Structure 1
Amino acid sequence: MQKRILAIVPALNEAENIGAVVENLKQVSLRLDVLVIDDGSTDQTSEVARAYGAKVISLPVNLGIGGAVQTGFLYAVKNHYDVALQVDGDGQHRAEEIRKLIEPILLEKADVTIGSRFLEKTSYKSARSRRLGIYLLSKTIQSVVRKKYTDPTSGFRAYNQKALRVVSAHYSTDYPEPDSIVTLVKNRMRVIEVSVEMDARLSGSSSITPFKSGYYMFKVSLAIILNSMMSRIWPE
């Protein structure tokens, strides 16, 4: 039986990008449903996503990236999807790379896959300060889970049903990607990285400004350390 796959696309004021994102996902030769989580947008994100054939959940207020993505996880669990993808709404994640993410899960070699820009050499370019921040987060995670992840901030991921039950129950509200690695590994999920190509966002700018970077690093590092001290949430 062919696996049912859901692409979860969190989006905040991405009307300029979301149509192209949905269209590209629809062209993937898989049984793939696209769910856009409109996180309280003030533009036409929901309308554009529907026009391109996506399912849409419109949140009445802005919950942040964590709340938006967790809404998608809950939807995937409730509707019994075999695999859920997390894909950004800004066009950075290439639809043609999805098979790389899904294959280890379909072959039961992993519970979660993370698309990494840095596991192998790729064409992706980023600022030195951002690379330094990612490196420091990687080292913090490695210190608590004893495993190395080269791109812990990547939001290009795939989850099987077992992992979905974990992240649908426990997922940080903002900047959740690094912290969720700790949660998943603690709950005995097999989390691996897969080398992927990514692009710069199609238009607009990232919500993480240089001013916010220091706060981001402090908050996420603290969350990782505190999370490592908590008990597992997955039942035996």
Structure 2
Amino acid sequence: MNKILIIIPAFNEEYNIENLVKEIKLVADINLDILVINDCSTDNTELVCKNSGVRTINLPSNLGIGGAVQTGYKFALKNKYEIAIQVDGDGQHRPEYIKELIRPILDNEADMVIGSRYINKEGFQSTKLRRIGIIYFSKLLHLLTNQVITDPTSGFRACNDKVIQLFSKRYPVDYPEPESIMFLKRNKYIIKEIPVQMKARMGGVSSISSLKSVYYMTKVSLAILIDKMRKQIV
């Protein structure tokens, strides 16, 4: 039986984390371990996690999404997990898709699998501003990698042990999803997408504002272009 870890990065998700953990535990026929990375939340996320009995790493300072997720990958590598699955702490990702998300990895068809809301275009489709950014990054990555990734900003993804090892050593800091796709493609890893539906955030506030979106697109675009020019890891 494969050893599988769910990595949940969480910053101020007191309204979402308890229900998300309950939903993941209801996923049938899969033995899953759950790890919440509490990214120095200023609300009651730490207390909610403690009361839920879920394994939690409470970071002493705020590392941002990239640092929080990489902490999860370091834990996965140290504890010899064969598959790691990222699930955002805001409750937008639906755990019933987990079995479909890991199937291509179990069948040795992919190194990383992304849950995309834009294959069937069902469920919550994000805000208009973020959809513009998603389309932009999809086109940029297609131009540079010759692969269409319909949902390059999706944080709902599963990775095999090779990617766990890679991400535990190097993972982008800010808004890491598109940049990490370029990183994997440059190093000849196989990425697939599966169709999923997502939900709107039920509580809390997204960390990405309109102003941050402009910064996000500029910074990540430059990072992707720079990564494209780097040599393949031997």
The TM-score normalised by the length of structure 1 is 0.96
SS in 1 for 2:163: helix
CA–CA distance in structure 2, aligned partners of residues 166 and 148 of structure 1:
23
Conservation of the 8 A alpha-carbon contact between 2:118 and 2:125: no
Identity of aligned residues (%): 50
Map of 2:49 onto structure 1: 49
Would you say 1:214 and 2:214 are equivalent positions?
A: yes
User: For residues 135-150 of structure 1, what are the structure 2 equivalents within 5 Å?
Assistant: 135-150=135-150
**Residue range with higher mean Cα deviation, 45-54 or 104-113:** 45-54
CA apart distance, 1:15 = 1.1
Would you say 1:198 and 2:203 are equivalent positions?
A: no
CA apart distance, 1:204 = 1.5
Map of 1:95 onto structure 2: 95
SS in 1 for 2:173: coil
CA apart distance, 1:121 = 2.4
Moved over 6 A (4+): none
Amino acid in structure 2 at the alignment position of 1:171? Y
CA–CA distance in structure 1, aligned partners of residues 152 and 137 of structure 2:
7
CA–CA distance in structure 2, aligned partners of residues 187 and 47 of structure 1:
40
User: For residues 32-47 of structure 1, what are the structure 2 equivalents within 5 Å?
Assistant: 32-47=32-47
CA–CA distance in structure 1, aligned partners of residues 106 and 53 of structure 2:
26
Query: Structure 1: where are the runs of 5+ without partners?
Result: none
**Residue range with higher mean Cα deviation, 39-48 or 147-156:** 39-48
CA–CA distance in structure 2, aligned partners of residues 120 and 220 of structure 1:
26
CA–CA distance in structure 1, aligned partners of residues 218 and 19 of structure 2:
34
Map of 2:166 onto structure 1: 166
Query: Structure 2: where are the runs of 5+ without partners?
Result: none
Amino acid in structure 1 at the alignment position of 2:165? R
**Residue range with higher mean Cα deviation, 55-64 or 127-136:** 127-136
Per-residue CA distance 1:119-144 (angstroms, 9 max, x = gap): 22212233332211111111111121
Map of 1:11 onto structure 2: 10
Give the RMSD, CA atoms, in angstroms: 1.1
SS in 1 for 2:16: helix
Amino acid in structure 2 at the alignment position of 1:12? F
